[in-house]
Amino acid sequence: MARLPAPFASILALAALVLAAPALAAPSVSGATTARLAWSDVPGWRDDDQSAAFPAFRETCRALAAGRKEAAGAAPPPRALREACRAALAAGRPGKAAARAFFERHFEPYRVVPEARALLTGYFEPEFRGSLAPSRHYPHPLLAMPSPAPDPFPTRAEIEEGALGAQTRPIVFLEDEAAAFTVHVQGSARIRFADGRARRVGFAGRNGQPYSSIGRIMVQEGILPLEEATMDRLVSWIRANPAEGRRIMRMNRSFIFFRWADELDPGRGPRGGAGVQLVPGRSIAIDKALWPYGLPVVLAADTGGVPGMPERFARLTVAQDTGAAIVGPVRADLFVGSGDAAGLTASRLRHPMDMIVLWPKTAEGGRRR
């Protein structure tokens, strides 16, 4: 057989390698551009323990594989992410080195550069005292999802004035409106009863009305300066000014309904939008219209001065949740845990960040818009 001249042989060999290698399609997302990185340029990658994020990734993969309706509510995952999920479900419990190798084998890192702002915030699961019956000490209800659901839904103010009537019912009563509003913002809570028992309430649905940040409203009205508009400061102000607080809270037309979530493991976090329990420090809420659940995401931010956070936060997380205020391609809400200490961390976390999505390698090049 005749030998090809060396230059032609080299060209054909290179072409064969290109055809054999998986083609990489950069993630495409509205409102941002993406730039591929080397793993050595991913913030904190060599110092992080990826095995701490792997269980969150695998659990979300299990929800996707089971076709849970919660997990199906986000942007559809590309086929390559499902393929990576199948590999994760077969991988057992990898250690630090094996988990890092898994993500490097199945994904490529891309920095997402927004046209507007990049913002990292935090959220938590609060704990409040409560009662199954109303009383002078526990007058403020959390409501169950109405049945039948009205179309259209009334606003927050109308619901609080009784617009749903017998279509809904209270499931528990809290001490004040600030506590109830905090549960609405966070989407879940632990309720502690007088006998020491605790039960968890979880998200059951919303009224579909637009969400407005009461922190932004209070800044715009000159009630608080921007640097003081943290969740703990908002709650303190509302408790000190109940009538004005009620007026401002009702400017947020969105309203959340709840249910008892007794099926959840009490030693783990609440259930997120993907239908799985959240992992403190590893689970994030994203804009589910833009990014799929299960997507691994590295977040990096200078968080010095935030209680419970390192000076430089750089960590692999997993998209497992969403929220009405989480809008945009470079917007993440980090679940930081349960209780008062986590609440203080969440209230102070509001920082610019770098966001690096780990986009699945694919042979066919699916794209996200």
Q: What CATH topology corresponds to 125-260? A: Ribosomal Protein L25; Chain P (2.40.240)
Q: Which residues pair with 350 in a beta bridge?
A: 121
Burial 204-239 (b: 16+ CB within 10 A, else e): bebbebebbbbbebbbeeebbeeeebbbebbbebbe
Predicted local distance difference test score (pLDDT) of residue 206: 95
Q: Which two tokens stand for residue 30?
A: 């509205």
Where in the chain are the domains?
A: 125-260
Predicted local distance difference test score (pLDDT) of residue 227: 83
Predicted local distance difference test score (pLDDT) of residue 69: 66
Predicted local distance difference test score (pLDDT) of residue 20: 38
Neighbouring residues of 348: CB distance < 8 A, sequence distance ≥ 6: 122, 230, 305, 306, 307
3-state secondary structure at position 239: helix
Q: How far apart are the first and last CA of the chain?
A: 50
Predicted local distance difference test score (pLDDT) of residue 11: 37
Per-residue pLDDT tens listing for the chain (369 residues): 333 344 433 333 333 333 333 444 678 898 999 999 999 999 999 999 999 999 999 999 999 988 776 666 688 888 999 999 999 999 989 999 999 999 999 999 999 999 988 999 999 999 999 999 999 999 999 999 999 999 999 999 999 999 999 999 999 999 999 999 999 998 999 999 999 999 999 999 999 999 999 999 999 999 999 888 888 899 999 999 999 999 999 999 999 999 999 999 988 999 999 999 999 999 999 999 999 999 999 999 999 889 999 999 999 999 999 988 899 999 999 999 999 999 999 999 999 999 999 999 974 433 443
Predicted local distance difference test score (pLDDT) of residue 6: 42
pLDDT tens for each residue of 262-287: 999 988 999 999 999 999 999 999 99
Predicted local distance difference test score (pLDDT) of residue 351: 95
- Identity at 322, one-letter amino acid code: T
Contact 52, 103 (CB under 8 A): no
Q: How far apart are CA 369 and CA 28, in angstroms?
A: 5
Helices (H) and strands (E) in the chain, counts: 10, 15
Predicted local distance difference test score (pLDDT) of residue 116: 85
Q: How far apart are CA 148 and CA 164, in angstroms?
A: 10
Secondary structure of 207-273 in the HEC alphabet? CCCCCCCHHHHHHHCCCCCHHHCCHHHHHHHHHHCHHHHHHHHCCCCCCEEEEECCCCCCCCCCECC
